[in-house]
């Protein structure tokens, strides 16, 4: 007897699949096998920030904390909310202990700095169990943005003066502008020196964590690469803006240094700031010498920290060469 035809094999059915349909099926199977993209975790803010009359404006999101601009107690009191959300990869008990310890350490450092006269944000409130800290809002710009603006403005000024030949007046204006920026560098050096005088090391001393609270009401506008600014802007406006107050922010990695390690920790602080200048503002790296000069004159123990900085630099270069 002839074998009975099988009907369970799709390839032997009367309805054959076209090549285009087969290709479409293969693509769908490949898409199903590919891992799905991860979605961002939406953190639920703790009370009293769950429902606020003022919307929270996200500023930064780091590995440990989320930073928002908001208000505190009254809608007319601007503030910065620093929230450390729970880490699902840590044991809940350990996570709560670490969050509480780090928030308390940051708050204590800020309170100590304010008491010693260091310009840092004031602590407005906090809940160690809920994982948040509310700080004073510092109006102004980061020194990183100020340096970006200054370097860009200087570039447009040189470009606008090319071929025109500057006389004595132009040279005098350039010296006045440079002196205003050098004075800002001196204020940074003195601010870091005052911080170290209190026995506190910042731990992440970059130009993004140093604010300029300007005395001038209007901050500089960042110029677009496609539009040149007014290169003949009044020098008084530049000097007035740069004549602001230096405020140190983001003390999440700060520590109160022990006497045995003070010089080393201070030198590392300076080295981190020096590397920030070299990495983000290579054309303004020459200004950092003025920071160190003012730092060396800010308190009696500064010279020892500067000598230790040489050793930190050597170790940093060896690490860069060896990878």
Active centre residues (catalytic): 204
Cα separation, 301 vs 259, whole angstroms: 12
Residues 6+ apart with CB under 8 A from 79: 69, 70, 71, 72, 124, 134, 135, 136, 137
Alpha carbon 220 to its chain's center = 19
- Residue 181 near residue 290, CB atoms below 8 Å: no
> In Å, what is the CA distance from 51 to each residue of 60, 65, 233?
20, 20, 45
Strand partners, 142: 211
Cis peptide before 280 (omega within 30 of 0): no
Cα separation, 274 vs 288, whole angstroms: 7
Cα separation, 67 vs 133, whole angstroms: 10
H, E, C per residue of 305-318? HHHHHHHHHHHHHH
Q: How many residues does the chain have?
A: 323
- Residue 246 near residue 211, CB atoms below 8 Å: yes
């Amino acid at each position: 007897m002839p074998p009975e035809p099988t009907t369970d094999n799709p390839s032997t059915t009367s309805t054959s699949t076209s090549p285009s349909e087969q290709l479409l099926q293969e693509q769908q199977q490949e898409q199903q096998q590919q891992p799905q993209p991860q979605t961002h975790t939406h953190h639920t803010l703790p009370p009293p920030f769950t429902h606020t009359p003022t919307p929270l404006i996200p500023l930064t999101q780091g590995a440990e904390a989320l930073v928002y601009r908001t208000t505190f107690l009254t809608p007319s009191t601007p503030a910065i909310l620093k929230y450390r959300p729970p880490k699902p990869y840590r044991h809940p008990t350990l996570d709560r202990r670490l969050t509480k310890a780090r928030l308390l350490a940051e708050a204590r450092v800020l309170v100590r700095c304010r008491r010693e006269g260091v310009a840092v944000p004031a602590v407005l409130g906090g809940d160690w169990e809920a994982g948040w800290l509310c700080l004073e809002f510092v109006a102004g710009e980061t020194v990183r943005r100020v340096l970006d603006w200054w370097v860009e403005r200087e570039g447009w000024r040189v470009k606008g003066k090319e071929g025109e030949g500057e006389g004595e007046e132009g040279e005098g204006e350039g010296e006045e502008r440079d002196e205003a920026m050098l004075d800002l560098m001196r204020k940074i050096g003195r601010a870091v020196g005052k911080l170290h005088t209190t026995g506190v090391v910042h731990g992440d001393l970059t130009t993004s964590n140093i604010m300029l609270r300007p005395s001038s009401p209007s901050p500089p506008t960042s110029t677009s690469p496609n539009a040149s600014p007014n290169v003949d802007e009044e020098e008084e406006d530049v000097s007035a803006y740069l004549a602001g107050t230096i405020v140190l922010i983001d003390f999440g990695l700060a520590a109160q240094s022990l006497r045995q390690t003070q010089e080393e920790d201070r030198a590392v602080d300076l080295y981190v700031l020096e590397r920030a200048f070299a990495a983000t503002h290579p054309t303004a790296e020459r200004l950092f010498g003025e920071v160190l000069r003012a730092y060396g004159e800010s308190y009696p123990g500064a010279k020892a920290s500067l000598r230790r900085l040489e050793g930190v630099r050597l170790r940093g270069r060896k690490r860069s060469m060896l990878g």
